Structure 1
Amino acid sequence: MRKKLLLPYVLLVILLLVACSGPGGFKADFEYQIAPFEFTNQHNEQVSLDDLKGQVWLSQFVFTNCTSVCPPMMVNMVDIQAKLAEEGVEDYKIISFSVDPEVDTPEVFQEYLDMFDPQDQDKWEMLTGYTMEDISKFALESFKAIVIDDPNSDQVTHGVQFSLVNQQGQIVKMYNGVDDVPYEKIVKDMKALIKAGA
């Protein structure tokens, strides 16, 4: 008799837990809307926010003359892509925004990507073709990230997070892109987000 009385309560708790976890088991940390953009990729093609709608993507801010954080960020992103491939995840993009657009022409950005030899370059959009002022404003307003040019060197101070973006063009999670990168969590979150939007 007691077991019969407990069953409805157990079912109710399970239902509440499922409801709280959101569709597909994905729960956003926040929903920062990305401002509309149209930038140039490594193939000299225009890529806009609208072009990326409907897809999950992982983004970063890097530049080719970077002597500190960018090479490890690129290596870490390539490693994430390899882990996604191992899990059979295919419906996503990797977006890299240059924070040194005067130097990072499409051709230079393509050469930079080649250096890291990612498993599938078709997933990568290396974006440039704007002014330093534009990317500084865009990074701060959309990604809550700083981009500050150093007038005394060829280096740029910038955020080092990887940002996970949903199918509606909203940033829903951020991760450290340099140290202690949570590879398994990123892959798990991307799989859940893709499933939630399917």
Structure 2
Amino acid sequence: MKKNSVLLVLILTLSSILTACGSYKFEPEMNIEVQDFSVTNQKNEKVSLNDIKGKPSLAMFIFTNCNSICPPMTYNMTEVQKALQDKGVEDYQIVAFSVDPQVDSPEVLTNYLKTYSVPDESKWQLLTGYDQKFIEQFAMKSFNSVVKNDPNSDQVIHMGSYYLVNADGIVVKDYSGTTDVPVETIVADMKALTK
């Protein structure tokens, strides 16, 4: 009888572990509607919110002249994209809003992206073509994210987060984009949203 009880406990434990592995459940942590926009990407094409909708996106705020968090954020995003490719996740976009649109023309953004080993450039939208006031208000309203010019330098203060936007244009989660980037969680979340 004791042998049967131990065996039953082992079977139940094993089945619960296997069930947990195969059924990751995505839990949204945010619910912010991205405001409509009409901007320009690195290919000098017009991009609006409707162009972004229809598939999940990973969004971030960067600028090419950044001397602090943007280079690691951009590099880390290429690592996230490699992990997405490795797991067969295809239906997504990476959207980077420039927080220094006066400097970051489409050509500057194109050259910036070339300095990184990007696994699939076709999934990247680097956006510009608006003024500073727009991006400061847009970042706050759409992502609850701070963007502000530094009056003492040519730098722009902004957050180092990645934002997960679902196919309906709703921000549902954010992650660190600078250090301890939760790549596996991002991939699992993206996989859950692309199903």
Same fold by TM-score, threshold 0.5 exceeded?
Answer: yes
Distance 2:144 2:30 in 1: 12
| Worse-matched range after superposition: 148-157 or 55-64 | 148-157
Secondary structure class of the residue paired with 1:173: strand
Mapping of residues 169-184 of structure 1, within 5 Å: 169-184=169-184
For residues 101-158 of structure 1, give each alpha carbon's deviation from its aligned partner in whole angstroms, at most 9, with x where no partner exists: 0000000000000101201000000000000000000001110010010122110100
Mapping of residues 1-198 of structure 1, within 5 Å: 25-195=25-195
Distance 2:165 2:130 in 1: 21
Secondary structure class of the residue paired with 1:116: coil
Normalising by the residue count of structure 2, what TM-score does the alignment of the two structures yield? 0.87
**How many residue pairs are counted as aligned between the two chains?**
175
Unaligned segments of structure 2, at least 5 residues:
1-15, 17-22
Q: What is the root-mean-square deviation of aligned Cα atoms in Å?
A: 1.6
For residues 153-176 of structure 1, give each alpha carbon's deviation from its aligned partner in whole angstroms, at most 9, with x where no partner exists: 110100111000001000000001
Secondary structure class of the residue paired with 2:115: helix
Distance 1:52 1:166 in 2: 10
Q: Structure 1 pair 25/184, CA: closer, same or farther in 2 (3 Å)?
A: same
Shift in Å, 1:26:
2.2
Unaligned segments of structure 1, at least 5 residues:
1-13, 15-22
Shift in Å, 1:24:
8.0
Distance 2:190 2:169 in 1: 14
What percentage of residue pairs aligned between the two structures are identical? 50
Q: Is the 8 A contact 1:145 1:159 kept in 2?
A: yes
Shift in Å, 1:53:
1.2
Distance 1:160 1:171 in 2: 16
Shift in Å, 1:38:
1.1
Q: What letter corresponds to residue 58 of structure 2 in structure 1?
A: L
Secondary structure class of the residue paired with 1:193: helix
Distance 2:34 2:24 in 1: 23
